Amino acid sequence: MPPPPEVLCFGEALVDRLGPPGGDPATDLPVEDCLGGAPANVACALARLGTGSALLGRLGEDAIGAAFRELFTSRGVDIRAVQWDPVRPSRTVLVRRDSAGDRSFGGFAGEQGDGFADQALEASALAGPLEELLATARWLLVGTIPLASDASAAALHLAQARAEAAGIPLALDVNWRPTFWSCPPDQALDAIRPLLAAAALIKVSAEEADWIAGSRDPRRISASLPHGPAVLITDGPGTLSWWLGGQAGRLEAYRVPVVDTTGAGDAFLAALLHRLCQEPELLGSGSGERVMDAMRFASACGALVCQGAGAIEPQPTQAQVLAFLDAMASGSPGA
């Protein structure tokens, strides 16, 4: 039996449809469909590492939904709070790739006039299973995409309020994706600010840090928010920086042969939450050495995902992450 859920991951599970390099995934072949969505990626990565997780979301009663049901069951992700929509389809995101492999989001496929299932997540149907899940939860993880639709935003605010009442801290992955929003970025940021103010831990990319705070200094961003949250700023192959447990730090990314960067940030966040579940004291007053150790672990998890295709299949176990770190420390050429 999988362990009881310690991290509740709220939000989208979807398919990334990857077009051929330089082509249009809406019209050109071949395309590659990969299961993904940041909260789903984090839930699966946590389960692979050995920390119980649950997904709080909504999928269509379609082939994509069936594939996710099989995936979550095989990984041991709790799905009692997943809703199944008989009308709206699961979302497919069209992802363009240029000749160098860099990606951009170019719209959606499969919508039939009523929107996508993830937009229709129902707060009333979430309340019951959420109460059960909060009994073992240590973290509620949310992204910002659910705020782009009224129904899913209401469900997110319900989950946030119930978790806060239960003393469960909020982790926020800003994950800014303008394609999902129908309003200008400044209006979207207004919707996101209450989550920034409520979070105990915030993960942003360097570009998102510029957008939300006009700064890439994690300590400064933390000081600007009412609860002084931990702040993690990722920068792809660049330098990770953080303010966590009263400790500021930086870490260069591990240099590995890259197959696909999809989901690396989600794997990083999952690994850090995994360590915070094991060592919750790190959030408040961790030593510099222990915080650095947790960041190395999380960065290694992200690096390992980059060495395989897709966001979910290459996610490592804890033993694989530790073996990678040992190999890097020893200078093994296979690391």
Q: What is the CATH number of the domain that holds 207?
A: 3.40.1190.20
122: left (phi over 0), alpha (psi -120 to 50) or beta: beta
* Structural domain includes residue 241: yes
Identify the band that residue 2 occupies on the pLDDT scale cut at 50, 70 and 90: confident
* Structural domain includes residue 98: yes
Domain range for 203 is 7-329
* Structural domain includes residue 2: no
* Structural domain includes residue 156: yes
Instruction: Decide: 262 and 314 in contact? Cβ < 8 Å.
Output: no
Beta bridge partners of 191: none
For the chain, the 3-state helix, strand and coil shares in percent, each to the nearest 5, are: 45, 20, 35
pLDDT for residue 226: 94
Count: domains in the chain: 1
Amino acid at site 152: S
CA distance linking residue 84 with residue 57, whole number of Å: 9
| Percentage of residues of the chain with pLDDT beyond 70 | 96
**pLDDT digits 0-9 by tens, 56-80:** 999 999 999 999 999 999 999 999 9
The predicted model gives 131-145 an average pLDDT of 98
Res. 90: pLDDT tops 50: yes
Q: How many CB atoms lie within 10 A of CB 128?
A: 11
Res. 30: pLDDT tops 70: yes
Minimum mean pLDDT range among 40-44, 139-143, 157-161, 288-292: 288-292
pLDDT for residue 82: 98
- Helix pair angle (38-49, 63-75), 10° resolution: 20
| Percentage of residues of the chain with pLDDT beyond 90 | 80
Amino acid at site 52: G
CA distance linking residue 316 with residue 257, whole number of Å: 16
Instruction: Decide: 44 and 301 in contact? Cβ < 8 Å.
Output: no
* Structural domain includes residue 244: yes
Minimum mean pLDDT range among 24-38, 125-139, 228-242, 267-281: 24-38
The predicted model gives 203-232 an average pLDDT of 97
pLDDT for residue 335: 38
Res. 334: pLDDT tops 90: no
The predicted model gives 23-41 an average pLDDT of 88
* Structural domain includes residue 173: yes
The predicted model gives 234-245 an average pLDDT of 94
**pLDDT digits 0-9 by tens, 159-198:** 999 999 999 999 999 999 999 999 999 999 999 999 999 9
Identify the band that residue 28 occupies on the pLDDT scale cut at 50, 70 and 90: confident
DSSP state letter for 127: H
Nearest to 262 by CA among 7, 108, 41, 9: 41
For the entire predicted model, the pTM comes to 0.95
Residue 96 to residues 108, 223, 249, 279, Cα–Cα distance (Å)? 12, 38, 34, 40
| Angle, alpha carbons 265-237-300 (nearest 5°) | 55
Instruction: Decide: 207 and 234 in contact? Cβ < 8 Å.
Output: no
Q: Give residue 188's Cα distance to chain centre.
A: 19
* Structural domain includes residue 144: yes
pLDDT for residue 18: 81
* Structural domain includes residue 207: yes
Res. 106: pLDDT tops 90: no
